[in-house]
Homo-oligomer: A and B are copies of this chain.
Amino acid sequence: MDMERRNRPALELYVPEPEARPGDEVDFSHIQVPPAGSVPRPDIAVSTESIRDLPYTLIRVLDEEGRATGPWDPRLDADTLRRMLRDMMMVRVFDDRMYRAQRQGKTSFYMKATGEEAIAVAGTHALDREDMCFPTYRQQGILVARDYPLVTMMCQIYSNRGDPLKGRQLPIMYSSREHGFFTISGNLATQFPQAVGWAMGSAISGDSRIASGYIGDGSTAEGDFHAACTFAGVYRAPVILNIVNNQWAISTFSGIAGGQLTTFAARALGYGIPGLRVDGNDALAVYAATRWAADRARSDLGPTLIEFFTYRVEGHSTSDDPTAYRPKGAGEKWPLGDPVARLRQHLTGLGEWDQDRDRQLLEQLDAEVRAAQKKAEKLGTLQSDPYAEIPTMFEDVYAELPWHLREQQAQALAEWEAKRK
């Protein structure tokens, strides 16, 4: 150790901590909420250099009274607004029902999107029906917005004989090419650069469809996030890169992903692409930002990174109990409110909605979900009567069965026979 060294101070490791832990008061005092309508809306052809401040703001349309205000107001007609409200409510009803089904032992696993419904639903309505989405497990709202059959969703969740995925995937890992809903991977973040590749494919082919990728705040730390942003920027891929910042990754708060240092939208600056930061609980802001990004993509102006600022109101999944690592009731105190309530308030203020219609809708959704559940359960549940076509287990590994899978298929069948005896 040289002389100089001895006078150097001892270093210390810094490990970020959230504002509150179990036993503490819920504390959202650090959350800054700029007024709705305060952020300018640039032209889509704007130079990236001139909007370097956007990632540090928060694009909001609905004010505290539920009025739409400012340049980002997408001026949607009442039917579209009602449809969005309906889809968001449907996601919530569906989630509650399936959560309960898991608790009843009917399947192995479930994940809710409570508090985040606006992101998938309003985002999807801002896209064309033929655009391709690369969702995570918390964008069931896309399927709902694109009229995917509830029964089929449930069959997937139950891994029963109606499951289009043949019992292969964990519950909620849906897939539907027809609905522009890319097969969900259990591996986080992998689909984010795939969305970029799909969009590049569209551009290479002179197509007009764009792609929309999703990633969680925690998952932005994966190398895949970096690959997605790098390739999207370099090739001006027609893609929307959505970060759903719900501030938690299982038990880990977003500070461990860098959330205390700057915004996630600011990541865009390093790639020289536009970055928007949006109130994710404001369906109109979600719609407007998505539309802006989609218009850019369609005009060959390249990708947009959007951070949707929201809060994971419930546990990470049915395997998780959030009171082990954060104060109880944090979700209810989230300063950006509830996305369903806010859109409802907006429609009501417009005179396009009221308590009666709301009650009616809720009853109707509940009935729809119950009916679907009954149908789905007739096709089995994981608990009672799961998907069990042994030969299909060997299909789709390759387009055609090679000899070794044919042999194994025969062996598996023989084994199943032996088991019956």
Binding site for B on A (CB under 8 A): 1-2, 4-5, 8-16, 48, 52, 128-130, 200, 202-204, 206-210, 221-227, 230, 233-236, 238, 255-258, 260-262, 266-273, 298-300, 302
Contact = CB atoms under 8 A, between A and B. Distances in A.
Nearest to A7: B208
A48 B262 contact: yes
B266 A266 contact: no
A12 B128 contact: no
Contacts of A266: 269-270, 272
26 contacts: A1-B130, A2-B129, A5-B128, A8-B298, A9-B208, A9-B299, A9-B300, A10-B207, A11-B208, A11-B238, A11-B298, A12-B300, A14-B236, A221-B226, A221-B230, A223-B224, A230-B258, A234-B257, A234-B258, A258-B271, A261-B271, A262-B272, A267-B270, A267-B271, A269-B269, A270-B270
Given A234-B257, A267-B270, 7 more contacts: A11-B203, A13-B203, A13-B204, A16-B234, A222-B223, A223-B224, A266-B272
A117 to B, nearest CB: 25
A160 to B, nearest CB: 33
Given A5-B130, A130-B5, A270-B268, A233 B207 contact: no
Nearest to A225: B226
A315 B255 CA distance: 43
A385 B273 CA distance: 54
B5 A208 contact: yes
A128 B257 CA distance: 31
A14 B234 CA distance: 8
A258 B236 CA distance: 10
A4 B128 contact: yes
Nearest to A204: B13
A52 B263 CA distance: 13
Nearest to A205: B11
A383 B235 CA distance: 45
- Top 7 A-B pairs, shortest CB-CB distance: A223-B223, A261-B272, A262-B272, A8-B208, A226-B226, A267-B270, A270-B270
A126 B257 CA distance: 31
Contacts of A223: 222-224, 226-227
A230 B257 contact: yes
A13 to B, nearest CB: 4
> Most B CB atoms within 10 A — which of A226, A233, A299?
A226
Contacts of A299: 9
Contacts of A226: 221, 223, 225-226
Given A4-B128, A128-B5, A11 B207 contact: yes
B272 A203 contact: no
A302 B204 CA distance: 43
